[in-house]
Amino acid sequence: MRKRTLLVAVVMLGTVSQVPQAAGATRTEIAGASPTSPALLLSGDSVAYNPAGDPPTWYATAEAYDSGTAASPTRSVFGGYVNHYDADGSSQNGQLVSTDGGQTFSTSTQQGFEASARLMDGRVIDAQFLGQTSDSLQQRRLVMRYSSNDGATFPATVTAPVNIAPQRFLADSANFYPTSMIQVPNGPLLMAGYANLQTGGISALLMQSTDAGQSWTLRNTIAQGTSARTYSETTIALNSDGDLLAVSRSSTYDNLWIQRSTDLGENWTGALRAIPEFAADSAGNRPFGRINPRLALLPNGILALVAGRPDNHIALSYDGKGTSWNIKKMFYDNHSKNDPQNLNEGTSGNADFAWTEANRAVLLADSCHAITFQGAHYNKCTWHNAPMSGGTTEFQIKRVMADILTADTGKIDLAGKAQLSGDLAAVAGHSRTGLRGAVDGSTELWSSAIKQGDSGTFDMALDRQYTLSKVGLSLALGGTQSATVQTKLDAGDAWQDWYTVNNQESQALRYASVTPRKAQYVRVVTGAASYCPPGVAAPCSMLNEVELFANDVDSFENDPVNGIPRGYSLDYTVDDQGKGHQGVWVTTATGGSGSSRALFIRDDTSQHRPAVRRVDSSSAVKTVEFRFRPQQWRTAGPASSMLFDLLGTPVNGVRQQAYHFALWSDGTIRYYSNGWKQVGTGRAFDPSTALWSTIKVRATTTQATVTVNGVTIGTAPRTDGATSNLTGHEFSASSTPDADETFIVDDVYTSNS
Ligand SMILES: [Ca+2]
Ligand SMILES: [Ca+2]
Ligand SMILES: [Ca+2]
């Protein structure tokens, strides 16, 4: 009965979020996520791989490694899947590779891999499950593969002894299952895995290597099995404080189990414990997956955990510590609609993920588990003919993009907007090192700017003046390092200290909100690191990654791709045919804006006018400046234009258009005051769809002055005839009944002066 009740609830929820039928066009306003809090936003799922002939394809893996050069950085995602039926032998994993940040995947002739790490020498190591042999009840030999091209191929192998003494395998036939590996900078190579032991049965083990994986000994037992509960698949990661976390699957499916260590696993802090946020609710529903946990610390310092069964979930610890989990969401479901909590239907829940940018990750999951039951093969999506919630009964690998965002918008795309100089440089043999390694969005060790033989300086000349309000620094990895951030407004000014951090330990970016200061030039004075990576002459200094945030320019760089920019709200129309229209979103197709995100406004329907707005503080003076590129003007019907408003003080709760402007397809700027009238005379901007223009409006309560590309065009009176304060701005397409126009907006500057 409980399950039946749940089903009804699910169906009702679906109905509410769907569109009303034949009820006439309705418009609602949808707010983006808060700009001042961290956020997790998920895309819909799409197919990463759908093999012809529907062979078994399940157990998604995802690893990613930086590649390319500092000047032209890339990061390949190596997806993988198992292509035999579970519990019926084994096979080499198939591989899927993405070179576009997880958007799309193609098959490769290489094999998928799961437990891998970037070594201190820059190679990538992968621990193989297949091919292992037994030396004794305490030692297995596992094949370690080595890649010198960032995980693309692994031509070199070593057969490495893996010795679990004082533990003992249950039998010579007991395997060691490697599930997770990390290289601790200035520390051991660590590998988590599990095995069936003489004591306690299946248990999770932490192995260590000090010779780059050529031999392994037991560092500590992570979770010793008991007659009540055993522990298998285990993930390890360093958290934002450098503590080692280990999360394990248990045989009882009751929760995921976590261990924490402040000495890289030699000792555990307290007992093995269940994760409170993931406990089943009072109705017995499992709010988070129970198998195959995966951990990773993103460059922006947020710790993510993925696990599954039933379905596939992601949780985030915003402070990167993993002591509390702030948010958890299901990212892909394909369960029996008749029995949503049934673990034996649909997706296997073996999911994985890899970060693709400092604030983004790709998540992979399988659609259907391929299993062996009483000697026969089954697809868990079809074996009971249950309707599946995810709408497919084929074996597929699905992908979802996750925007994993720190607090605050206003992130500056330093890779696109800063000219770099200074004496931090490249290290021979590591192609991602160099000045640009500090702004590549990656916190991999060898994706850094490095000074050998001294402390250093790293200078950024920004594209404009910003009111800087926040800085993120990742300094030396594997040690401590101090740094001072200095700024100046004009090139000829003297540097002034803005922010200093002493002896910072870095695992990822650490952010500080600093007293806002207007600047165009920023210098990071990097101190001597307490540890220099192999091949780097001591004393050394490192800028692994730097981020800057402004509180007066929003370039949409810390916003969800294809989502609503944070701090804005937009109009959403459901048309007479029941179809929803949004028409405004954050895009990575920035049309040459010089940064990685911009605001996209596309009108492709006669039943909606895309509009997006932001409400700011009330002020008698407001300046709004933005960069604008028409991507497509409407060529037939009424003239095409992008509309731009300054909002007045609401009257009886109704938003007021204090100033109503149009950027016309003929290159004029017009204002509305009892009809459209031109600002100034002649063409204000070049309307070519290949060009960007910078539009600036400075308004008082009674008059606005319009400037284009630094040239004042003219003034406009208020549209509403009122004299109230100004409260925000809005961008929109020109018309509800007309369509066929597309605009890109970026770098929105606002000020109350
Ligand atoms: Ca970097
Ligand atoms: Ca941008
Ligand atoms: Ca329209």
- Closest ligand to residue 732's CA: 3
The average pLDDT across 714-726 equals: 97
Residue 385 burial (CB < 10 Å; 0-12/13-18/19+)? exposed
pLDDT score recorded for residue 485: 99
Ligand 2 centroid to Cα of residue 746, in Å, is 5
Phi, psi (degrees; rounded to nearest 5) at 416: -95, -25
Largest CA distance in the chain: 91
Phi, psi (degrees; rounded to nearest 5) at 13: -60, -45
CA–chain centroid gap for 713, Å, is 41
Residue 10 confidence (pLDDT) above 90: no
The average pLDDT across 567-571 equals: 98
In contact, 138 and 203? CB cutoff 8 Å: no
Residue 203 confidence (pLDDT) above 90: yes
Distances 487 to 466, 467, 499, 510, 746 between C-alpha atoms, Å: 11, 11, 9, 19, 24
Domain with CATH 2.60.120.560 in the chain: 568-751
Ligand 1 centroid to Cα of residue 473, in Å, is 10
Residue 8 confidence (pLDDT) above 60: no
The average pLDDT across 514-520 equals: 98
- Closest ligand to residue 358's CA: 1
Ligand 2 centroid to Cα of residue 414, in Å, is 10
Rounded Cα distance, 669 and 682, in Å: 9
Ligand 1 centroid to Cα of residue 103, in Å, is 22
- CB-side neighbour CA atoms (13 Å) of 482: 7
pLDDT score recorded for residue 703: 98
Task: Please provide the distance, in angstroms rounded to a whole number, between the alpha carbons at the two ends of the chain.
Answer: 63
Ligand 2 centroid to Cα of residue 595, in Å, is 5
Ligand 2 centroid to Cα of residue 222, in Å, is 44
Ligand 1 centroid to Cα of residue 474, in Å, is 8
Rounded Cα distance, 261 and 140, in Å: 26
Return left, alpha or beta for 680; rule: phi > 0 is left, psi -120 to 50 is alpha, else beta: left
pLDDT score recorded for residue 284: 86
Could you read off the pLDDT of 226-266 as tens digits, one per residue? 999 999 999 999 999 999 999 999 999 999 999 999 999 99
Other residues' Cβ atoms within 10 Å of the Cβ of residue 216: 30
Ligand 1 centroid to Cα of residue 434, in Å, is 9
Decide which of 2.60.120.260, 3.40.30.10, 3.40.50.300, 3.30.70.1230 is the CATH code for 414-550.
2.60.120.260
In contact, 571 and 577? CB cutoff 8 Å: no
Distances 604 to 32, 565, 665, 731 between C-alpha atoms, Å: 22, 20, 17, 16
Return left, alpha or beta for 422; rule: phi > 0 is left, psi -120 to 50 is alpha, else beta: left
pLDDT score recorded for residue 207: 99
**Helix H or strand E encompassing 308:** strand 303-308
Could you read off the pLDDT of 606-656 as tens digits, one per residue? 999 999 999 999 999 999 999 999 999 999 999 999 999 999 999 999 999
Rounded Cα distance, 370 and 85, in Å: 5
- Closest ligand to residue 638's CA: 3
Distances 248 to 100, 293, 338 between C-alpha atoms, Å: 31, 7, 29
- Closest ligand to residue 414's CA: 2
The average pLDDT across 154-182 equals: 98
The average pLDDT across 467-496 equals: 98
SS3 525: strand
Ligand 1 centroid to Cα of residue 260, in Å, is 27
pLDDT score recorded for residue 25: 85
pLDDT score recorded for residue 634: 98
Residue 2 confidence (pLDDT) above 60: no
Residue 5 confidence (pLDDT) above 50: no
Residue 321 burial (CB < 10 Å; 0-12/13-18/19+)? middle
pLDDT band, very low/low/confident/very high, at 457 (cuts 50, 70, 90): very high
Rounded Cα distance, 343 and 335, in Å: 8
Ligand 3 centroid to Cα of residue 602, in Å, is 9
**568-751 maps to CATH 2.40.420.20:** no
Domain with CATH 2.120.10.10 in the chain: 33-373+389-405
SS3 318: coil
Could you read off the pLDDT of 659-678 as tens digits, one per residue? 999 999 999 999 999 999 99
Name the β-bridge partners of 715. 705
pLDDT band, very low/low/confident/very high, at 9 (cuts 50, 70, 90): very low
Residue 1 confidence (pLDDT) above 80: no
Distances 539 to 423, 535, 536 between C-alpha atoms, Å: 14, 12, 9
In the predicted model, what is the mean pLDDT of the chain?
A: 95
Residue 555 tokens read as 């370039």
Return left, alpha or beta for 489; rule: phi > 0 is left, psi -120 to 50 is alpha, else beta: alpha
With 0.85 as the threshold, say if the pTM is over it: yes
Among candidate residues 710, 705, 707, 665, the one with its CA nearest the CA of residue 688: 665
Q: Determine what percent of the chain is predicted with pLDDT higher than 70.
A: 97
Phi, psi (degrees; rounded to nearest 5) at 308: -150, 180
pLDDT score recorded for residue 24: 59
* CATH, range 33-373+389-405: 2.120.10.10
pLDDT score recorded for residue 287: 87
- Closest ligand to residue 629's CA: 2
Among candidate residues 24, 29, 17, 19, the one with its CA nearest the CA of residue 571: 29
In contact, 707 and 680? CB cutoff 8 Å: no
Could you read off the pLDDT of 523-547 as tens digits, one per residue? 999 999 999 999 999 999 999 999 9
The DSSP secondary structure of 62-102, one letter per residue, reads: EEEEEEE-SSSEEEEEEEEEE-S-BTS---PPEEEEESSTT
In contact, 371 and 89? CB cutoff 8 Å: no
Ligand 2 centroid to Cα of residue 627, in Å, is 10
Three-state secondary structure along 331-364? EECCCECCCCCCCCCCCCCCCEEEEEECCEEEEE
Residue 3 confidence (pLDDT) above 50: no
In contact, 46 and 27? CB cutoff 8 Å: no
Phi, psi (degrees; rounded to nearest 5) at 437: -65, -20
Domain with CATH 2.60.120.260 in the chain: 414-550
Return left, alpha or beta for 28; rule: phi > 0 is left, psi -120 to 50 is alpha, else beta: beta
